[in-house]
């Protein structure tokens, strides 16, 4: 046991064994070639493993919409159909509105659609109670519905709550609205900044329109173009509303001139299409006014196209550290061929025992072992005794 522990503490050196086998040699060289092709073609050329990289650039987006449209009752300009007006990375454009009749703050029967508001006496209506699906605060009275179709609890609310609405479409000229998207990005690690507007003349943006090949740095889009590029029908989308994503991608190789770092635009619909629960995109807002000294309002349910501008990007530049790491990984991976071929020889070929005897050999020498009587001495390292070759066979 002491002899075994002493030998295990010695230095082990790998032994080179040449196996003359055509099939195995071909497999070995093929594995080496695959590893070299992978690191040369994919890691170095495609993934640029020699570069230091930064993802998620700092970005700012400013938008501006222009255009005029008409509904059956009025003409709409940009101050009315764009929300919010600040021009951020997310905005919506109205394409259809459902306008309720004038409402005033007073008491009236709760709407028919609120099931818990149905009553037969005042005891069924709790004063000052509210319902999440209702329109106001209950007064504690049970009153007849307009038209004599039953009774419901009276509420203090913007009345009438069931006055119907008038639908008006703004989509007649909405597809011709122009949308300016100004984007600037910055990669702080490399101190690199760039924008998607590079106009040589001050009046360039007044006459240009976006084109992937001829006007890449004119980020002015027609609303109909955005919807079409996202694969949607404009008339259908304007009726129910929806969300269109404008994705701007900056993939910059900073080893090349700055002119090679260009934005790439893609468009797609972000909200699920054809969902029965809460389809499309809509929201409500009110416009208030005073009529004969009474504060009144008009409630509008708006359908529209919401545009979300999303910016992605990454930049890379040559750096010595990732280059050394990638080269070391490549050189280490070349040894994969030896590991696979050793496994095939030891486990799969008919001469595995013969190869094992050549692959694993232990050299021992004779002499006294410290702490063991001389008569019990056995092979150990000693310069006075010649080495004895011992082959380990499995």
Residues in binding site for ATP: 64-66, 178, 282-284, 301
DSSP 156-207: EEEE-TT---EEEE-TTTGGG-EEEEEEEEEETTTTEEEES---SSTTGGGT
Retrieve residue 160's tokens: 């009438």
Buried/exposed code over 356-393 (b: 16+ C-beta within 10 A; e: otherwise): eeebeeeebeeeebeeeeeeeeebbeeeeeeeeeeeee
For the chain, the C-alpha Rg in angstroms (whole number) is 39
In contact, 135 and 202? CB cutoff 8 Å: no
DSSP helix/strand/coil, 353: helix
Residue positions in the annotated binding site?
Answer: 64-66, 178, 282-284, 301
Tokens representing 164 are: 């119907």
Provide φ and ψ at 139, rounded to 5°. Answer: -95, -15
- Other CB atoms closer than 10 Å to residue 56's CB: what's the count? 10
Name which of 105, 143, 104, 99 is nearest 121 in CA terms. 143
């Amino acid at each position: 046991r002491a002899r075994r522990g002493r030998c295990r503490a010695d230095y082990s050196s790998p032994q080179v064994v040449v196996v003359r086998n055509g099939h195995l040699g071909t497999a070995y060289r093929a594995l080496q070639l695959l590893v070299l092709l992978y690191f040369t073609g994919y890691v170095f050329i495609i993934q640029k493993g020699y570069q230091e990289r930064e993802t998620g650039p700092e970005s700012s987006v400013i938008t501006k919409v222009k255009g005029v449209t008409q509904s059956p009752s009025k003409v709409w300009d940009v101050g009315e159909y764009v929300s919010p007006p600040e021009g951020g990375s997310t905005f919506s454009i109205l394409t259809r509105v459902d306008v309720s009749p004038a409402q005033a703050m007073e008491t009236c029967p709760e709407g028919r659609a609120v099931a818990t508001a149905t009553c037969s006496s005042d005891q069924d209506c709790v004063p000052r109670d509210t319902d999440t699906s209702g329109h106001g605060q209950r007064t504690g009275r049970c009153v007849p519905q307009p038209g004599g179709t039953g009774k419901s609890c009276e509420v203090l609310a913007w009345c009438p709550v069931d006055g119907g609405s008038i639908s008006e479409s703004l989509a007649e000229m909405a597809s011709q609205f122009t949308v300016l998207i100004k984007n600037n990005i910055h990669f702080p690690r490399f101190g690199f900044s760039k924008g998607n507007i590079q106009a040589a003349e001050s009046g360039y943006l007044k006459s240009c329109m976006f084109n992937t090949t001829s006007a890449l740095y004119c980020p002015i889009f027609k609303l109909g173009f955005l919807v079409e590029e996202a694969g949607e029908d404009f008339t259908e989308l304007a009726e129910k509303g929806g969300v269109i994503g404008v994705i701007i991608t900056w993939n910059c190789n900073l080893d090349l001139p700055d002119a090679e770092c260009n934005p790439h635009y893609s468009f797609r619909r972000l909200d699920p299409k054809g969902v029965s629960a809460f389809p499309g995109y809509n929201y409500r807002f009110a416009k208030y006014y005073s009529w004969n000294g009474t504060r009144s309002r008009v409630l509008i349910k708006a359908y529209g196209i919401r545009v979300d501008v999303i910016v992605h990007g990454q930049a890379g530049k040559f750096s010595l550290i990732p280059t050394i790491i990638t080269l070391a990984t490549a050189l280490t991976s070349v040894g994969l061929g030896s590991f696979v071929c050793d496994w095939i020889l030891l486990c799969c070929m008919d001469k595995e025992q013969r190869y094992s005897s050549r692959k694993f050999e232990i050299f021992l020498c004779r002499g006294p072992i410290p702490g063991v009587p001389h008569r019990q001495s056995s092979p150990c390292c000693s310069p006075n005794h010649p080495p004895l070759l011992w082959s380990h066979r499995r």
